Structure 1
Amino acid sequence: MVRVTVWNEYRHERESETVAEVYPDGIHAVIAEFLEDAGHEVETATLDEGPEHGLTEEVLAETDVLTWWGHAAHDEVSDAVVERVQERVLEGMGLIVLHSGHYSKIFKTLMGTTCSLKWREAAETERLWTVEPSHPIADGIGEYIELPETEMYGERFDIPAPDTLVFNSWFEGGEVFRSGCCYRRGNGKVFYFRPGHETYPIYRNEDVQQVLINAVDWAAPGDGPTPDFGNADPIEDIDTDDERTVH
């Protein structure tokens, strides 16, 4: 069982009737439900949940994997909270960044780039090709996932080259896009997954749900040793009194 916090901006669902029809209780509620059904311990947090956006030190300390969906209010996220999330990722917490979360402060901080891209909203077909079928995130997924109506994201996507590219998208209009990108930052794992525009029921698609369930398992911290940085005592006996001449 992985302890997951599902974070959502939760603005569109409250301000747009079109979005509310698709996600009446919020995108975070849908994601939380299928992650709970997969056996994980899930909590949710939203942008307007206090000055810390529901991501207090206590919440993050009890979080193994954080999922992040944001779109219209990236600039409203507190810099202090972003720094706190970054520290937890470097310590080992997993982070799954969804769709327009590519422009979030936390993703841009971890990537060190603008994370800019091309986009078009035209309800076009997307085909996500599984280009790394042996990766754990692709477990149970076929050769491709086809989504009949999506928002297009296109290259150039200004991100560092992924450690592993699991999915690559093709769109009806002709563009391609790196849609499933894995990274390691410090002791933590980061996965960016493109599908998820708020006006389409992307998170109700069973294949998309399976990808995110797999991603939570992959991003969860392992049981390896905690790295020890700084001045270190020797593992073996050494002669610390040996006089050495420095040239």
Structure 2
Amino acid sequence: MTIRVTVFGENVHEQTNRVVAEIYPQGMHGCIAATLNANGMDASTVTLQQPDHGLTAEKLAATDVLIWWGHAAHGAVQDAVVDRVCDAVWGGMGMIFLHSAHFSKPFKRLMGSPCNLTWREAGERERLWVTSRNHPIASDLPEHFELEHEEMYGEPFGVPEPLETVFISWFQGGEVFRSGLTYKRGAGNVFYFRPGHETYPTYHDANVQRVICNAVRWAHNPAARIADPNDAPNTPVQQALEPIVEHGPRLHHDGDKGLR
């Protein structure tokens, strides 16, 4: 079964920043989708500028895993679309948040926390250490890999305790950060992956591409989607229930000896 992936790209920096446009001529979303398609998946893209940001009910129903990249326009994402996305995750759609999507409306909704962190944009070296070597998302990766230039994210990271921490990053300035976190929300698998600042060619890196492909396979839930995860069905009783009888110690009358 081919995994159907939708890549949401904010598509703002690509239109306003010449450096970003040169690194990602098809947009960051286009670069990520091309990697997934080259690895046997069925990936398509949607952007903020489309009606409903491209994330209609029909599109989400046909999406096994949704990847989200956002940064400059978190506030422009329609709340109705956020509701729709989160309901799909609760119902079983996989979800992957990349880089500054930690502050996106869907991620904050699913985490139920501020999702804040410290940051510094200085083009520093980032070394990502695999902290869970047997995790499927870390499959075929070395014990660590490096990105020559990235934006620094530092702890504390205001998110709930994850199911598992797959990666921890170290930066040249000395900071560390939990860079790969897994969660379960309803029937949906959720993964946050830190790298991906727009002015660096992070999504062209082979190890980053491998992480994203592995994460899609991990996040995919092949079970049928729960139609309405908010529905708690009431099943009426069809016949009278038998009364519950409490059985305590039995007293036996033994003639003149009385009860015993």
Shift, 1:184, TM fit: 0.2
Shift, 1:230, TM fit: 3.2
Q: Return the alpha-carbon distance in structure 2 between the equivalents of residues 141 and 240 of structure 1.
A: 60
Q: Return the alpha-carbon distance in structure 2 between the equivalents of residues 225 and 177 of structure 1.
A: 33
Give per-residue Cα distances to partners, 1:122-163, cap 9 Å, x unaligned: 111000100001000000111011111000000000000110
Say what the alpha-carbon RMSD is for the aligned residues. 2.0
Gaps of 5+ in 1: none
Which of 222, 230, 233 is equivalent to 2:233? Answer: 230
Whether the 8 Å CA contact 2:8–2:68 is kept in 1: the answer is yes
Q: Return the alpha-carbon distance in structure 1 between the equivalents of residues 166 and 194 of structure 2.
A: 11
Shift, 1:35, TM fit: 0.1
Determine whether 1:81 maps to 2:68.
no
Please show how residues 140-151 of structure 1 align to structure 2 within 5 Å. 140-151=140-151
Q: Return the alpha-carbon distance in structure 1 between the equivalents of residues 243 and 25 of structure 2.
A: 73
Identity %: 54
- What does residue 28 of structure 1 align with? 29
Whether the 8 Å CA contact 2:91–2:225 is kept in 1: the answer is no
Q: Return the alpha-carbon distance in structure 2 between the equivalents of residues 123 and 225 of structure 1.
A: 41
Determine whether 1:211 maps to 2:211.
yes
- What does residue 105 of structure 1 align with? 105
- What does residue 68 of structure 2 align with? 68
Normalised TM-score (structure 1): 0.93
1:53 is paired with a residue of what secondary structure? helix
Give per-residue Cα distances to partners, 1:30-55, cap 9 Å, x unaligned: 000010001111110000012x0000
- What does residue 167 of structure 1 align with? 167
Shift, 1:242, TM fit: 1.5
2:132 is paired with a residue of what secondary structure? coil
1:83 is paired with a residue of what secondary structure? helix
The aligned amino acid for 2:122 is A
Q: Return the alpha-carbon distance in structure 1 between the equivalents of residues 144 and 204 of structure 2.
A: 17
Q: Moved runs in structure 1, 4+ residues, more than 2 A?
A: 222-234
Give per-residue Cα distances to partners, 1:144-192, cap 9 Å, x unaligned: 1111100000000000011010000000100000000000000000000
Q: Return the alpha-carbon distance in structure 2 between the equivalents of residues 241 and 191 of structure 1.
A: 46
Determine whether 1:127 maps to 2:127.
yes
Determine whether 1:49 maps to 2:50.
yes
1:162 is paired with a residue of what secondary structure? coil
Determine whether 1:58 maps to 2:58.
yes
